[in-house]
């Protein structure tokens, strides 16, 4: 017991039940976050296709900037969960505080760089400086307004995710879920109020959407601190713990997480390049791509949430030296992911067009009708790779829990740059398929990359990996 919190041992009992006990709260939380993205896109779409395109292009840049979150975040997963599984609670407490410090440092550094070069990068990614119609702002202008606010809140966003990661790592997945869901609910409430000027608030448009996100992340971060320092989690934080914060410990977190961070930067940068390729076609394709990726992410994030719970569970099992149980847990989780993503893929293929019509009204003109047509095709093609992506995520999260992040980095780089990019260039410049070729390149490369990762995963080297505490 810690305070009035009952500690449950996730290294014992039914493997399947523990996967769901640890993973379902995380899956529910991440599903809620992406449900918010879905709803946010719905509100922003009411402002016009140029607003959707602006946010889509900005996030092409934001993905790269915020992916440094992986360096501290993934490194902390293995240290926190393995220290906790080994019942070294003082080391666990220190690792949580070290992660906060590291993330704030990274957020300030990269946030300032992002703010300074925001306009230049948005232009590079294809944001048009000309307005799409009379009285409308340009995609570039809208992207700058939205992006500046988001970058100012980068630290709160990254550290809010530290709360979720740390709570899962110490066996409090339901508390992490509650924080995530509460943050999403606050964001959903604030969105229309700030975007359209409901009640006493002025209409802020696209800036209101960004401000709603920052307020929600900030609130979630502060609430997480209260939970830890008030002793409402399995590990309590103290202003002065038994183990001092040391530069060597910060370096260890970064060393473990750097391969995953490189993988995330590579993936995010590749998405930015893909977005630039899409922008060479039509604005309608950019809008369809933005919405299509959000819908696809809504399916994938449920698996990511389940996988984050798995990462903490694998870390606890390896910390407790239960190797065979860790292996069985990983493979059962992969089977669960395959079933869930296959079901979601079938549903998305069937209902692709009605889903796109939620965001765009074909009666408003040829532009929105074109977005629906392009987006429907995108969803149906991308859905074919969902089962492979689901299995890949579980393998990646298992590597993360073991602290063995080099294999996912290598496989990610192969998928993004050796497979995906040449396919896209071939489709656009040789086959002249326009955006259709991009959709097929994304799908085929994901399937091949997942197959390669499974080949390495099945060798079992990750079972021998450990991280050492102080």
pLDDT recorded at residue 1: 44
d(CA 117, CA 103): 21
The token duo for 181 is 């869901």
The answer for 241, left when phi > 0, alpha when psi is -120 to 50, beta otherwise, is beta
pTM above 0.75, yes or no: no
Residue 244, Cβ density class (10 Å: 0-12 exposed, 13-18 middle, ≥19 buried): exposed
d(CA 81, CA 44): 39
H/E segment holding residue 468? none
H/E segment holding residue 127? none
Q: What is the pLDDT along the chain (470 residues), one digit of tens a residue?
A: 444 445 666 778 788 888 888 878 877 877 777 677 767 777 887 887 788 888 888 887 887 787 778 777 777 877 888 788 778 888 889 889 989 999 999 999 999 999 999 999 888 877 766 655 545 678 888 889 999 999 999 999 999 989 988 998 888 888 988 998 899 899 889 989 999 988 888 888 889 999 999 999 999 999 999 999 998 998 899 888 787 777 777 888 888 778 877 887 788 778 878 888 888 877 788 888 888 887 887 778 778 878 878 887 888 888 778 889 989 999 999 999 999 999 999 999 999 989 888 877 666 655 678 888 888 999 999 999 999 999 999 999 898 888 787 888 899 899 999 999 999 999 888 888 888 899 999 999 999 999 999 999 998 888 886 665 55
- The residues with which 2 forms a beta bridge, in sequence order, are 5
The token duo for 244 is 């001092």
d(CA 456, CA 256): 19
d(CA 197, CA 14): 51
Query: What DSSP designation does 384 have?
Result: G
29, 181 in Cβ contact below 8 A? yes
433, 277 in Cβ contact below 8 A? no
pLDDT recorded at residue 3: 47
427, 441 in Cβ contact below 8 A? yes
Helix ranges restricted to H, 125-172: 139-152, 154-169
């Amino acid at each position: 017991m810690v305070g009035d919190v009952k500690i449950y041992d996730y290294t014992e009992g039914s493997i399947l039940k523990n996967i769901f006990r640890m993973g379902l709260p995380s899956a529910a939380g991440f599903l809620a976050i992406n449900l918010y993205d879905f709803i946010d896109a719905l509100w922003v779409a009411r402002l016009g296709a140029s607003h959707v395109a602006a946010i889509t292009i900005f996030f092409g840049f934001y993905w790269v900037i915020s992916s440094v979150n992986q360096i501290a975040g993934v490194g902390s997963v293995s240290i926190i969960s393995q220290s906790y599984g080994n019942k070294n609670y003082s080391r666990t407490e220190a690792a949580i505080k070290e992660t906060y410090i590291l993330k704030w440092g990274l957020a300030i550094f990269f946030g300032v760089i992002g703010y300074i070069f925001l306009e230049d990068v948005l232009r590079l990614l294809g944001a048009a400086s000309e307005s799409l119609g009379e009285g409308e702002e340009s995609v570039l202008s809208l992207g700058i307004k939205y992006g500046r606010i988001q970058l100012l809140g980068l630290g709160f966003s990254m550290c809010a995710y530290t709360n979720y990661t740390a709570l899962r790592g110490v066996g409090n997945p339901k508390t992490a879920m509650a924080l995530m869901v509460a943050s999403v609910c606050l964001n959903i409430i604030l969105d229309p109020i700030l975007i359209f000027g409901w009640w006493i608030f002025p209409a802020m448009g696209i800036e209101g959407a960004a401000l709603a996100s920052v307020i929600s992340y900030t609130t979630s971060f502060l609430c997480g601190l209260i939970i830890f320092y008030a002793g409402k989690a399995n590990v309590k934080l103290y202003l002065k713990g038994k183990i001092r914060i040391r530069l060597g410990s910060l370096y260890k977190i970064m060393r473990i997480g750097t391969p995953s961070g490189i993988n995330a930067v590579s993936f995010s940068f590749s998405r930015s390049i893909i977005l630039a390729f899409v922008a060479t076609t039509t604005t309608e394709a950019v809008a369809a791509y933005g919405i299509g990726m959000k819908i696809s992410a809504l399916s994938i994030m449920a698996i990511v949430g389940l996988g984050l719970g798995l990462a903490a569970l694998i870390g606890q099992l390896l910390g407790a030296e239960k190797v065979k149980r860790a292996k069985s847990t990983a493979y059962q989780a992969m089977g669960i992911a395959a079933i869930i993503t296959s079901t979601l893929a079938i549903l998305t293929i069937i209902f692709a067009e009605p889903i796109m019509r939620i965001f765009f009204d074909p009666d408003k003109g040829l532009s929105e009708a074109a977005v629906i047509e392009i987006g429907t095709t995108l969803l149906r093609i991308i859905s074919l790779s969902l089962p492979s992506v689901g299995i890949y995520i579980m393998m990646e999260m298992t590597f993360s829990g073991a602290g063995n992040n080099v294999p996912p980095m290598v496989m990610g780089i192969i998928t993004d740059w050796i497979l995906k990019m040449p396919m896209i260039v071939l489709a656009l410049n040789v086959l002249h398929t326009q955006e259709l070729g991009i959709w097929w390149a994304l799908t085929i490369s994901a399937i091949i990359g997942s197959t390669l990762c499974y080949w390495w995963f099945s060798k079992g080297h990750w079972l021998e990996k450990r991280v050492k505490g102080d």
